[in-house]
Protein backbone atom coordinates (compact mmCIF):
# COMPACT_ATOMS: atom_id res chain seq x y z
CA UNK A 1 0.00 0.00 0.00
CA UNK A 2 2.84 2.40 0.94
CA UNK A 3 4.67 1.51 -2.27
CA UNK A 4 1.59 2.43 -4.36
CA UNK A 5 1.28 5.80 -2.60
CA UNK A 6 4.94 6.57 -3.28
CA UNK A 7 4.51 5.79 -6.98
CA UNK A 8 1.44 8.06 -7.21
CA UNK A 9 3.36 10.78 -5.40
CA UNK A 10 6.26 10.41 -7.87
CA UNK A 11 3.91 10.71 -10.84
CA UNK A 12 2.41 13.92 -9.43
CA UNK A 13 5.88 15.36 -8.94
CA UNK A 14 6.74 14.52 -12.55
CA UNK A 15 3.69 16.40 -13.83
CA UNK A 16 4.52 19.37 -11.63
CA UNK A 17 8.10 19.26 -12.84
CA UNK A 18 7.03 19.49 -16.49
CA UNK A 19 4.80 22.45 -15.68
CA UNK A 20 7.56 24.30 -13.85
CA UNK A 21 10.08 23.62 -16.57
CA UNK A 22 7.68 25.11 -19.04
CA UNK A 23 7.56 28.30 -16.97
CA UNK A 24 11.35 28.43 -16.84
CA UNK A 25 11.54 28.39 -13.07
CA UNK A 26 15.04 27.07 -12.31
CA UNK A 27 14.63 27.08 -8.52
CA UNK A 28 11.43 25.08 -8.58
CA UNK A 29 12.88 22.68 -11.11
CA UNK A 30 15.86 21.97 -8.89
CA UNK A 31 13.60 21.30 -5.90
CA UNK A 32 11.43 18.90 -7.83
CA UNK A 33 14.44 16.96 -9.14
CA UNK A 34 15.71 16.62 -5.60
CA UNK A 35 12.35 15.35 -4.36
CA UNK A 36 12.10 12.86 -7.21
CA UNK A 37 15.55 11.52 -6.38
CA UNK A 38 14.60 11.11 -2.72
CA UNK A 39 11.36 9.33 -3.64
CA UNK A 40 13.18 6.93 -5.92
CA UNK A 41 15.73 6.22 -3.19
CA UNK A 42 12.95 5.47 -0.65
CA UNK A 43 11.26 3.04 -3.08
CA UNK A 44 14.49 1.18 -3.79
CA UNK A 45 15.43 1.07 -0.10
CA UNK A 46 12.02 -0.31 0.82
CA UNK A 47 12.27 -3.08 -1.75
CA UNK A 48 15.79 -3.96 -0.61
CA UNK A 49 14.89 -4.14 3.09
CA UNK A 50 11.79 -6.24 2.39
CA UNK A 51 13.81 -8.79 0.43
CA UNK A 52 16.49 -9.01 3.12
CA UNK A 53 13.92 -9.58 5.87
CA UNK A 54 12.21 -12.32 3.87
CA UNK A 55 15.49 -14.16 3.32
CA UNK A 56 16.40 -13.84 6.99
CA UNK A 57 13.10 -15.28 8.19
CA UNK A 58 13.30 -18.21 5.80
CA UNK A 59 16.84 -19.02 6.89
CA UNK A 60 15.84 -18.84 10.56
CA UNK A 61 12.92 -21.20 9.96
CA UNK A 62 15.17 -23.70 8.20
CA UNK A 63 17.71 -23.50 11.01
CA UNK A 64 15.13 -23.92 13.76
CA UNK A 65 13.54 -26.88 12.01
CA UNK A 66 16.91 -28.55 11.58
CA UNK A 67 17.55 -28.23 15.33
CA UNK A 68 14.35 -30.02 16.35
CA UNK A 69 14.77 -33.67 17.41
CA UNK A 70 13.80 -36.11 14.69
CA UNK A 71 10.77 -37.76 16.25
CA UNK A 72 9.57 -41.18 15.30
CA UNK A 73 5.87 -41.26 14.41
CA UNK A 74 5.49 -43.65 17.35
CA UNK A 75 7.69 -41.83 19.86
CA UNK A 76 6.01 -40.64 23.07
CA UNK A 77 6.90 -37.05 22.20
CA UNK A 78 5.39 -37.08 18.74
CA UNK A 79 2.36 -38.93 19.98
CA UNK A 80 1.92 -36.55 22.90
CA UNK A 81 2.15 -33.45 20.71
CA UNK A 82 0.88 -34.35 17.28
CA UNK A 83 -1.27 -37.48 17.30
CA UNK A 84 -4.88 -36.66 16.56
CA UNK A 85 -5.99 -38.87 19.44
CA UNK A 86 -3.73 -37.08 21.92
CA UNK A 87 -5.39 -35.04 24.68
CA UNK A 88 -3.22 -32.13 23.48
CA UNK A 89 -4.00 -31.65 19.75
CA UNK A 90 -1.72 -29.36 17.78
CA UNK A 91 -4.54 -26.88 17.12
CA UNK A 92 -4.57 -26.11 20.83
CA UNK A 93 -1.03 -24.77 20.56
CA UNK A 94 -1.63 -22.84 17.36
CA UNK A 95 -4.41 -20.68 18.76
CA UNK A 96 -2.80 -20.40 22.19
CA UNK A 97 -5.67 -22.17 23.97
CA UNK A 98 -4.98 -25.06 26.30
CA UNK A 99 -7.07 -25.86 29.35
CA UNK A 100 -7.07 -28.45 32.12
CA UNK A 101 -9.53 -30.71 30.32
CA UNK A 102 -6.95 -31.24 27.57
CA UNK A 103 -4.61 -32.83 30.11
CA UNK A 104 -7.03 -34.96 32.13
CA UNK A 105 -9.29 -36.36 29.41
CA UNK A 106 -8.65 -39.88 28.08
CA UNK A 107 -6.89 -39.92 24.66
CA UNK A 108 -10.17 -40.34 22.78
CA UNK A 109 -13.57 -42.00 23.03
CA UNK A 110 -11.98 -45.37 22.41
CA UNK A 111 -8.75 -46.81 23.74
CA UNK A 112 -6.82 -47.53 20.53
CA UNK A 113 -3.52 -45.71 19.96
CA UNK A 114 -0.24 -46.03 18.08
CA UNK A 115 2.21 -46.16 21.01
CA UNK A 116 4.48 -49.14 21.49
CA UNK A 117 4.88 -50.69 24.94
CA UNK A 118 7.90 -48.60 25.97
CA UNK A 119 6.17 -45.38 24.97
CA UNK A 120 2.95 -46.46 26.68
CA UNK A 121 4.69 -47.25 29.99
CA UNK A 122 6.59 -43.97 29.86
CA UNK A 123 3.49 -41.90 29.32
CA UNK A 124 1.39 -43.81 31.86
CA UNK A 125 4.08 -43.36 34.52
CA UNK A 126 3.53 -39.58 34.53
CA UNK A 127 1.75 -38.64 37.75
CA UNK A 128 0.99 -35.31 39.43
CA UNK A 129 2.90 -34.59 42.64
CA UNK A 130 0.00 -32.64 44.14
CA UNK A 131 -2.58 -35.11 45.41
CA UNK A 132 -5.46 -32.64 45.57
CA UNK A 133 -7.30 -32.55 42.25
CA UNK A 134 -8.12 -29.01 41.00
CA UNK A 135 -11.41 -30.16 39.47
CA UNK A 136 -14.44 -32.20 40.44
CA UNK A 137 -13.06 -35.71 39.95
CA UNK A 138 -15.40 -38.68 40.25
CA UNK A 139 -13.22 -41.77 40.91
CA UNK A 140 -13.84 -44.74 38.62
CA UNK A 141 -13.05 -48.44 38.78
CA UNK A 142 -11.14 -49.81 35.78
CA UNK A 143 -12.26 -53.32 34.82
CA UNK A 144 -9.46 -54.94 32.81
CA UNK A 145 -10.30 -58.17 30.99
CA UNK A 146 -7.80 -60.69 29.65
CA UNK A 147 -9.60 -62.44 26.81
CA UNK A 148 -8.70 -64.70 23.91
CA UNK A 149 -11.38 -63.54 21.48
CA UNK A 150 -14.90 -62.59 22.42
CA UNK A 151 -16.08 -62.28 26.02
CA UNK A 152 -18.43 -65.30 26.40
CA UNK A 153 -20.15 -64.03 29.56
CA UNK A 154 -20.60 -60.49 28.22
CA UNK A 155 -24.44 -60.44 28.64
CA UNK A 156 -24.03 -60.96 32.39
CA UNK A 157 -21.50 -58.15 32.62
CA UNK A 158 -23.75 -55.90 30.53
CA UNK A 159 -26.39 -56.21 33.25
CA UNK A 160 -23.76 -55.60 35.92
CA UNK A 161 -22.67 -52.28 34.35
CA UNK A 162 -26.09 -51.07 33.24
CA UNK A 163 -27.00 -47.67 34.65
CA UNK A 164 -23.60 -46.81 36.14
CA UNK A 165 -21.93 -44.93 33.31
CA UNK A 166 -19.25 -42.56 34.57
CA UNK A 167 -18.26 -44.80 37.47
CA UNK A 168 -16.31 -47.41 35.54
CA UNK A 169 -13.95 -47.92 32.61
CA UNK A 170 -13.51 -51.12 30.59
CA UNK A 171 -10.36 -52.40 28.88
CA UNK A 172 -10.04 -55.58 26.81
CA UNK A 173 -6.77 -57.30 25.94
CA UNK A 174 -7.09 -60.04 23.34
CA UNK A 175 -4.34 -62.66 23.25
CA UNK A 176 -5.63 -64.10 19.97
CA UNK A 177 -3.51 -62.75 17.10
CA UNK A 178 -5.46 -60.97 14.41
CA UNK A 179 -8.76 -60.99 16.31
CA UNK A 180 -10.79 -58.02 15.06
CA UNK A 181 -14.41 -58.91 15.83
CA UNK A 182 -16.05 -55.94 17.54
CA UNK A 183 -18.97 -55.77 19.98
CA UNK A 184 -22.18 -54.02 18.95
CA UNK A 185 -21.95 -50.26 19.26
CA UNK A 186 -24.68 -50.40 21.90
CA UNK A 187 -22.50 -52.63 24.11
CA UNK A 188 -20.40 -51.36 27.03
CA UNK A 189 -17.55 -53.35 25.46
CA UNK A 190 -17.72 -51.52 22.13
CA UNK A 191 -14.41 -49.90 21.14
CA UNK A 192 -12.74 -50.93 24.42
CA UNK A 193 -10.04 -53.23 23.01
CA UNK A 194 -6.51 -51.95 23.58
CA UNK A 195 -3.56 -52.65 21.23
CA UNK A 196 -2.82 -56.28 22.17
CA UNK A 197 -0.22 -58.99 21.65
CA UNK A 198 -0.22 -62.77 22.16
CA UNK A 199 -0.10 -63.78 25.83
CA UNK A 200 0.86 -67.30 26.93
CA UNK A 201 0.00 -68.80 30.29
CA UNK A 202 2.97 -69.00 32.67
CA UNK A 203 5.24 -66.85 30.50
CA UNK A 204 6.46 -63.27 30.57
CA UNK A 205 4.09 -62.38 27.74
CA UNK A 206 1.19 -62.79 30.19
CA UNK A 207 2.78 -60.23 32.53
CA UNK A 208 3.31 -57.94 29.55
CA UNK A 209 -0.40 -58.12 28.76
CA UNK A 210 -1.37 -57.29 32.34
CA UNK A 211 1.05 -54.37 32.55
CA UNK A 212 -0.27 -53.21 29.17
CA UNK A 213 -3.81 -53.19 30.55
CA UNK A 214 -2.72 -51.24 33.63
CA UNK A 215 -0.83 -48.65 31.60
CA UNK A 216 -3.77 -48.05 29.26
CA UNK A 217 -6.13 -47.67 32.20
CA UNK A 218 -3.76 -45.20 33.89
CA UNK A 219 -4.12 -42.83 30.92
CA UNK A 220 -7.55 -41.95 32.31
CA UNK A 221 -6.92 -39.81 35.40
CA UNK A 222 -10.37 -40.65 36.75
CA UNK A 223 -9.52 -44.33 37.21
CA UNK A 224 -8.74 -44.92 40.89
CA UNK A 225 -8.98 -48.70 41.30
CA UNK A 226 -7.85 -51.35 38.81
CA UNK A 227 -9.25 -54.90 38.67
CA UNK A 228 -7.75 -57.67 36.54
CA UNK A 229 -10.35 -60.20 35.34
CA UNK A 230 -10.43 -63.14 32.95
CA UNK A 231 -13.05 -64.06 30.38
CA UNK A 232 -14.29 -66.75 32.78
CA UNK A 233 -14.89 -64.35 35.70
CA UNK A 234 -18.30 -63.39 37.06
CA UNK A 235 -19.34 -60.69 39.55
CA UNK A 236 -20.66 -61.90 42.91
CA UNK A 237 -22.42 -58.67 43.88
CA UNK A 238 -24.12 -55.78 42.09
CA UNK A 239 -22.17 -52.82 40.81
CA UNK A 240 -22.94 -50.47 43.72
CA UNK A 241 -21.64 -52.98 46.28
CA UNK A 242 -18.47 -53.69 44.30
CA UNK A 243 -17.81 -50.00 43.61
CA UNK A 244 -18.20 -48.89 47.23
CA UNK A 245 -16.11 -51.82 48.49
CA UNK A 246 -13.18 -50.92 46.26
CA UNK A 247 -13.31 -47.13 46.36
CA UNK A 248 -13.50 -47.11 50.16
CA UNK A 249 -10.80 -49.73 50.70
CA UNK A 250 -7.56 -48.55 52.29
CA UNK A 251 -5.59 -51.37 50.67
CA UNK A 252 -4.89 -52.97 47.34
CA UNK A 253 -5.78 -56.65 47.01
CA UNK A 254 -2.92 -58.81 45.78
CA UNK A 255 -2.27 -62.26 47.17
CA UNK A 256 1.31 -62.35 48.42
CA UNK A 257 2.53 -65.18 50.68
CA UNK A 258 5.82 -66.82 51.57
CA UNK A 259 5.09 -70.40 50.47
CA UNK A 260 7.75 -72.83 51.79
CA UNK A 261 6.61 -75.67 49.51
CA UNK A 262 8.34 -76.71 46.25
CA UNK A 263 5.75 -74.73 44.25
CA UNK A 264 6.71 -71.65 46.30
CA UNK A 265 10.27 -71.25 47.53
CA UNK A 266 11.24 -74.23 45.40
CA UNK A 267 10.81 -72.05 42.29
CA UNK A 268 13.26 -69.42 43.47
CA UNK A 269 16.39 -69.03 41.36
CA UNK A 270 19.61 -67.77 42.99
CA UNK A 271 20.42 -65.91 39.81
CA UNK A 272 17.82 -63.36 40.88
CA UNK A 273 20.28 -62.05 43.45
CA UNK A 274 20.94 -59.33 44.47
CA UNK A 275 17.66 -57.74 43.28
CA UNK A 276 15.44 -60.50 44.66
CA UNK A 277 16.52 -62.68 47.60
CA UNK A 278 14.82 -65.80 48.86
CA UNK A 279 13.33 -63.78 51.73
CA UNK A 280 11.77 -61.45 49.13
CA UNK A 281 10.24 -64.29 47.11
CA UNK A 282 6.43 -64.40 47.19
CA UNK A 283 3.62 -66.32 45.56
CA UNK A 284 0.07 -65.16 44.90
CA UNK A 285 -2.94 -65.12 42.64
CA UNK A 286 -2.56 -63.56 39.23
CA UNK A 287 -5.95 -61.86 39.62
CA UNK A 288 -5.19 -58.65 41.47
CA UNK A 289 -6.94 -55.40 42.34
CA UNK A 290 -4.77 -52.35 43.03
CA UNK A 291 -4.98 -48.68 43.96
CA UNK A 292 -3.77 -46.08 41.47
CA UNK A 293 -0.53 -45.47 43.40
CA UNK A 294 0.35 -49.16 43.27
CA UNK A 295 -0.61 -49.39 39.59
CA UNK A 296 1.85 -46.61 38.74
CA UNK A 297 4.62 -48.41 40.63
CA UNK A 298 3.91 -51.64 38.77
CA UNK A 299 4.12 -50.20 35.26
CA UNK A 300 7.16 -48.08 36.26
CA UNK A 301 9.17 -51.08 37.43
CA UNK A 302 12.40 -51.56 35.49
CA UNK A 303 14.30 -53.32 38.27
CA UNK A 304 12.45 -56.53 39.16
CA UNK A 305 10.64 -57.27 35.91
CA UNK A 306 13.82 -58.07 33.89
CA UNK A 307 15.10 -60.29 36.70
CA UNK A 308 11.99 -62.48 36.82
CA UNK A 309 11.63 -62.41 33.04
CA UNK A 310 15.10 -63.90 32.68
CA UNK A 311 15.14 -66.28 35.65
CA UNK A 312 11.53 -67.30 36.39
CA UNK A 313 10.67 -69.81 33.69
CA UNK A 314 8.63 -73.03 33.88
CA UNK A 315 8.34 -74.72 36.28
CA UNK A 316 8.51 -71.21 37.73
CA UNK A 317 5.43 -69.34 36.51
CA UNK A 318 5.91 -65.62 36.37
CA UNK A 319 2.22 -64.73 36.69
CA UNK A 320 2.15 -66.41 40.13
CA UNK A 321 5.26 -64.66 41.45
CA UNK A 322 6.02 -61.34 39.77
CA UNK A 323 3.20 -59.15 41.11
CA UNK A 324 3.21 -60.89 44.49
CA UNK A 325 6.95 -60.29 44.92
CA UNK A 326 6.90 -56.77 43.48
CA UNK A 327 4.08 -55.46 45.70
CA UNK A 328 5.73 -57.02 48.75
CA UNK A 329 8.98 -55.23 47.87
CA UNK A 330 7.73 -51.76 46.95
CA UNK A 331 4.56 -51.11 48.98
CA UNK A 332 3.69 -53.90 51.46
CA UNK A 333 1.84 -51.46 53.72
CA UNK A 334 -0.68 -50.77 50.93
CA UNK A 335 -1.57 -54.42 50.35
CA UNK A 336 -4.14 -56.69 52.03
CA UNK A 337 -2.19 -59.82 50.99
CA UNK A 338 -5.32 -61.46 49.58
CA UNK A 339 -7.15 -61.69 46.26
CA UNK A 340 -10.77 -60.64 45.85
CA UNK A 341 -11.30 -63.15 43.01
CA UNK A 342 -12.28 -66.63 44.23
CA UNK A 343 -11.04 -69.80 42.53
CA UNK A 344 -11.27 -73.45 43.55
CA UNK A 345 -7.95 -75.31 43.77
CA UNK A 346 -9.39 -78.22 45.76
CA UNK A 347 -9.39 -80.60 42.79
CA UNK A 348 -5.61 -80.39 42.37
CA UNK A 349 -3.65 -79.95 39.16
CA UNK A 350 -2.02 -76.98 37.46
CA UNK A 351 -5.33 -75.17 36.90
CA UNK A 352 -8.29 -74.41 39.15
CA UNK A 353 -11.67 -76.08 38.71
CA UNK A 354 -13.94 -75.04 35.86
CA UNK A 355 -17.64 -74.75 36.68
CA UNK A 356 -20.32 -75.80 34.21
CA UNK A 357 -24.06 -75.32 33.93
CA UNK A 358 -25.05 -77.96 36.50
CA UNK A 359 -22.81 -76.36 39.15
CA UNK A 360 -24.58 -73.02 39.17
CA UNK A 361 -27.12 -72.42 41.91
CA UNK A 362 -28.01 -69.76 44.46
CA UNK A 363 -26.63 -71.94 47.25
CA UNK A 364 -23.32 -72.37 45.45
CA UNK A 365 -22.92 -68.64 44.76
CA UNK A 366 -23.95 -67.64 48.29
CA UNK A 367 -21.30 -69.93 49.73
CA UNK A 368 -18.67 -67.98 47.80
CA UNK A 369 -20.23 -64.64 48.68
CA UNK A 370 -20.42 -65.13 52.45
CA UNK A 371 -18.68 -68.39 53.29
CA UNK A 372 -15.30 -66.98 54.27
CA UNK A 373 -13.75 -64.64 56.83
CA UNK A 374 -11.22 -61.89 56.18
CA UNK A 375 -10.25 -58.36 57.16
CA UNK A 376 -11.49 -55.21 55.44
CA UNK A 377 -10.13 -51.84 56.62
CA UNK A 378 -9.25 -53.42 59.95
CA UNK A 379 -12.65 -55.08 60.55
CA UNK A 380 -13.67 -58.70 60.18
CA UNK A 381 -16.09 -59.46 57.37
CA UNK A 382 -17.55 -62.37 55.42
CA UNK A 383 -17.47 -60.38 52.17
CA UNK A 384 -14.02 -61.45 51.03
CA UNK A 385 -14.57 -62.09 47.32
CA UNK A 386 -16.21 -59.80 44.77
CA UNK A 387 -15.57 -61.99 41.71
CA UNK A 388 -15.21 -65.70 40.96
CA UNK A 389 -13.81 -67.93 38.21
CA UNK A 390 -13.64 -70.23 36.15
CA UNK A 391 -17.14 -70.35 34.67
CA UNK A 392 -17.75 -72.14 31.39
CA UNK A 393 -19.75 -70.26 28.70
CA UNK A 394 -22.66 -72.71 29.20
CA UNK A 395 -23.23 -71.21 32.67
CA UNK A 396 -24.50 -67.97 31.12
CA UNK A 397 -28.17 -68.98 30.99
CA UNK A 398 -28.51 -70.08 34.66
CA UNK A 399 -26.44 -67.07 35.78
CA UNK A 400 -28.77 -64.68 33.96
CA UNK A 401 -31.74 -66.43 35.54
CA UNK A 402 -30.32 -66.20 39.07
CA UNK A 403 -28.74 -62.75 38.84
CA UNK A 404 -31.85 -60.50 39.17
CA UNK A 405 -32.81 -61.88 42.59
CA UNK A 406 -29.39 -62.80 43.95
CA UNK A 407 -27.28 -59.92 42.69
CA UNK A 408 -29.93 -57.25 42.34
CA UNK A 409 -29.55 -56.82 38.59
CA UNK A 410 -32.37 -55.59 36.42
CA UNK A 411 -34.20 -58.61 34.94
- pLDDT 10s digits, 128-174: 888 888 888 899 999 999 998 889 999 999 999 999 999 999 999 99
The answer to whether the bond into 375 is cis (omega within 30° of 0) is no
Q: Which of 216, 168, 174, 173 is nearest to 188 (CA)?
A: 168
- Residues of the chain with pLDDT > 70: what percent? 73
What is the C-alpha separation between 190 and 199, in angstroms, rounded? 22
Mean pLDDT of 374-386: 96
Domain extents in the chain: 119-339
DSSP secondary structure, 134-154, as one string: SS----EEEEEEEESSS-TTH
119-339 CATH: 3.90.550
> C-alpha dihedral over 321, 233, 146, 120, to 10 degrees?
-80
Please give the helix or strand (H or E) that residue 225 lies within, else none.
Answer: strand 223-230
Residue 112 has pLDDT above 60, yes or no: yes
* Residue-level pLDDT at 247: 98
- Selected residue with higher pLDDT from 192 and 9: 192
Q: pTM value?
A: 0.76
Mean pLDDT of 350-373: 94
* Residue-level pLDDT at 86: 39
What is the C-alpha separation between 311 and 308, in angstroms, rounded? 5
- Selected residue with higher pLDDT from 108 and 226: 226
Lowest mean pLDDT among 63-77, 228-242, 368-382: 63-77
Lowest mean pLDDT among 39-53, 151-165, 185-199, 283-297: 39-53
> Cβ(353)–Cβ(390) under 8 Å?
yes
Please give the helix or strand (H or E) that residue 300 lies within, else none.
Answer: helix 292-300
35-56 residue pLDDT tens? 666 766 666 666 765 666 555 5
* Mean pLDDT, rounded, of the chain: 83
* Residue-level pLDDT at 4: 54
Amino acid sequence: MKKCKIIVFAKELTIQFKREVGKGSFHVTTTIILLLSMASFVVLLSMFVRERVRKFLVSEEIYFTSQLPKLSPLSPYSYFLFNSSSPLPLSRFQNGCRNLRDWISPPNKGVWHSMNDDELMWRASMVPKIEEYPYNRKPKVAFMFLIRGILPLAPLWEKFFKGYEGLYSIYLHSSKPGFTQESLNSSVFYNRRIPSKPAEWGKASMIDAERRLLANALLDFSNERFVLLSETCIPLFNFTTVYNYLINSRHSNQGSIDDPRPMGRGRYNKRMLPSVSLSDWRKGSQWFEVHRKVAVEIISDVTYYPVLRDHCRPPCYMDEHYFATLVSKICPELNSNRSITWVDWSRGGSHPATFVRKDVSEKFLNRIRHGFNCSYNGFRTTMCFLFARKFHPNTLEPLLRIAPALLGFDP
